[in-house]
Amino acid sequence: MTSVALLRQITDYANRADPYPLYAELRKTPVVRDEDGPYLVSTYWEIHSLLHDPRVSSDTRNLSPEAARTISQEEDPNLPPPFIKLDPPEHDRLRRLAMRPFGPPHTPRRVYEMRGELGEIVSGLIDGFRDRGQVDLVDDFSYPFPVTVICRLLGIPREDEARFHGWADTIAASIDPAHGTADEREAQLQVFRQARTDLASYLAGLIEERRRSPRDDMLSAMAAGYGPDGQMSPVEMVSTSILLLIAGHETTVNLITNGMLTLLRNPDVLQRLRDDPDLVVPLVEELLRYEPPVQLLPQKTTLADIDIAGTTIPKGAPLWLVLASGNRDPQRFLDPDRFIPDRPDNQHLGFSSGVHNCFGSPLARLEAQLALTELVRRLDNPRLVEDPPPYRHNAVLRGPQHLGIAFDGLRQ
């Protein structure tokens, strides 16, 4: 497939259910320039090294003008770029400020202390399966769960959660654009822009409220907290909150859905998890390797010529790091296409690596661990309604659009 546009094959919906043979093909040339322009990197060590390479930028403003045209960027002109699209030092400052109220060293217990609340949300959603012989895991569980979590984390009042869910759904849908006429796409874009504007102004108002009367939540801490880096500006807080919502939403949906799909495809593993719930910790790591929610990172670029794996990637080139392929690299993982729930030495790329490694990973891990343990414990004789399930269009944030699961009953 040397001369075929690899990138088009990856984005081709026909390959969505199982892109892994394509990645295996891709790995035969670890670094290759696709005829559509980007350099695709598909092997573990090469991806790993580029994720730690200070000559690689995440700021799309560094892309060459031609390359910038190939990725559709729908930015809010009123908000500064979120830190995922910034380089140090701005990235570091914003990420440090966001981390202060979220994780160690300043707030080491935030995620841990959400454990009980997360468990209740999970139980509540599964209780909703009662009297039904079949559910769509995506709509009935995987979607609502992370949005509720992010609401509680940020401190969205309960009465506003429904509105928040609405905005989140609209924004999430825009990540997976419709393939209709130009008019239909434009109409969808309008809805998306409106939702984003509404969400931004809602958050700005809430942040101001929390600044005046703080509570024990992340927005209050961001609005009230001061550190060596000072404080985020109000628009930076809005931008960061939206980033946390989007980045922590779709990805977690896919992680949980892929998790159940994989377990139902491997009934022996499902039984092991039922018998030994502690297995969920390494199991989720293996899941992040085996079916990573973010398949590739398409928005990096080079600040200088980079020699790697016998190829020179020129300055300003768009760089696509195919994390999901690196995760299946036989040079790094023994028997990479097997799902081994207690796989040793599992330093997967599921959360990326380097300065941009997943900000919300501790929360995502906990969400997936709680969700999978409870689903497996409570669903009696769960089975897939169809395999493969229908996938959403998105090749980057890859996951099933629906996952029908039939079951005989619900345990307490």
Partner 1 sequence: MPPVSVDGSLEKLRREGHIVIVGASLAGLRAAETLRDEGFTGTLTLVGDEPHDPYDRPPLSKQVLLGRVPADHTGLPRRRALDARWRLGVAATGLDLAAKRVHLADGDSLEYDRLLITTGVRARPWPHELEADLDGVFVLRTSDDAAQLHRRLNAGPSRVLVIGAGFTGSEIASACRERGLDVTVVERGSAPLVGALGGVVGEVAAKLQREHGVDLRCGVMVTGLEGDSAGRLRCAHLSDGSTVEVEVAVVGLGATRNTEWLASSGLGAGPRGIACDAGCRAFDVRGIVTDDVFVAGDVARSPHPLFGYQFLSLEHWGNAIAQAEVAAHNMVSSSTERRPHVWTPSFWSAQFGVNIKSVGVPPMADEIIVTQGSLDERCFTAAYGYQGRIIAAVTFDQAKWLEFYQRQIEQAAPFPPEFTTVDRRPEGMRPVPADFPDPSLPSHGPTVTLSGHSPSDRRISFTPLHA
Contact set for partner 1, span 86-145 (CB under 8 A):
87-89, 92
Interface with partner 1 by CB under 8 A: which range of 4-12, 135-143, 187-195, 350-358?
350-358
Q: Which stretch binds partner 1 (CB under 8 A): 10-18, 71-79, 119-127, 351-359?
A: 351-359
* Shortest Å, Cβ 92 to partner 1: 7
Instruction: Determine the Cα–Cα distance for residues 152 and 158; give it in Å rounded to an integer.
Output: 8
Task: Report the amino acid identity of residue 357.
Answer: N
Site string for partner 1, 314-333 (x = CB under 8 A): -x------------------
Binding segment for partner 1 among 16-24, 115-123, 297-305, 382-390 (CB under 8 A)?
Answer: 297-305
Q: How far is the CB of 151 from partner 1 (least distance, A)?
A: 31
Nearest residue (CB) to partner 1, 90 versus 169: 90
Q: Are 235 and 79 in contact (CB under 8 A)?
A: yes
Q: How far is the CB of 99 from partner 1 (least distance, A)?
A: 13
Buried b (16+ CB within 10 A) or exposed e, 140-151: bbbbbbbbbbbb
Reduced to 3 states (helix: H, G, I; strand: E, B; else coil), residue 104 is coil
Is residue 174 helix, strand or coil?
A: helix
Candidate ranges 180-188, 257-265, 354-362, 378-386; the one touching partner 1 (CB under 8 A): 354-362
355 binds partner 1 (CB under 8 A): yes
Around Cβ 273, how many Cβ atoms within 10 Å?
22
Q: Does 304 bind partner 1 (CB under 8 A)?
A: yes
Nearer of residues 101 and 389 to partner 1, judged by Cβ: 101
Tell me how many helices (H) and strands (E) the chain has: 17, 12
Q: List b or e across 320-337, with b for residues whose CB sees 16 or more CB atoms inside 10 angstroms.
A: bbbbbbbbbbeebbeebe
Rounded to the nearest whole angstrom, what is the least distance from the CB of residue 52 to partner 1 in the complex?
4
For 42, counting Cβ atoms within 10 Å of its Cβ (0-12 exposed, 13-18 middle, 19+ buried), the class is buried
Least distance in Å: CB of 107 to partner 1?
16
Cβ distance to partner 1 smaller for residue 285 or 374: 285
Q: How far apart are CA 71 and CA 99, in angstroms?
A: 29
Smallest distance from the beta carbon of 91 to partner 1, in angstroms?
A: 8
Q: Which residues contact 95 (CB under 8 A, 6 or more apart)?
A: 83, 355, 359
Amino acid identity for residue 404 in this structure: G
Min dist. Cβ of residue 215 to partner 1 (A): 28
Contact map string, positions 48 to 67, toward partner 1, x by CB under 8 A: -x--xxxxxx----------
Pairing of β 318-321 and β 39-41: parallel
**Binding of partner 1 at residue 76 (CB under 8 A)?**
no
Q: Does position 305 bind partner 1 by CB under 8 A?
A: yes
Binding-site member from 354, 384, 402, 406 for partner 1 (CB under 8 A): 354
Q: Which of 317, 285, 278 is nearest to 301 (CA)?
A: 317
Q: Does 303 bind partner 1 (CB under 8 A)?
A: yes
Between residues 316 and 389, which has the closer beta carbon with respect to partner 1? 316
Distance CA 189, CA 135 (A): 30
Size of the site for partner 1 (CB under 8 A): 19
Of 219-278, binders to partner 1 (CB under 8 A) are: none
Tell me the CA end-to-end span of the chain in Å, nearest whole number.
52
Of the candidates 289, 294, 269, 247, the residue with the CA atom closest to the CA atom of residue 373: 269
Rounded CA separation 382/186 (Å) = 41
Rounded to a whole number of angstroms, the minimum distance from the CB of residue 112 to partner 1 is: 17
Supply the DSSP symbol for 141: I
The reply on whether position 281 binds partner 1 by CB under 8 A is no
Structure-token pair, residue 394: 């998105």
The reply to whether 311 sits near partner 1 by the rule CB under 8 A is no
- Asked if 69 touches partner 1 (CB under 8 A), the answer is no
Closer of 142 and 352 to partner 1 (Cβ): 352
* CB of residue 47 to partner 1, shortest distance in Å: 12
Fill in the amino acid letter for 182.
Answer: A
Give the torsion sign (CA, 319, 323, 325, 327).
positive
Looking at the Cβ atoms of 183 and 345, the one nearer to partner 1 is 345
Q: In the complex, which residues of this chain contact partner 1 (CB under 8 A)?
A: 45, 49, 52-57, 87-89, 92, 303-305, 315, 354-355, 357
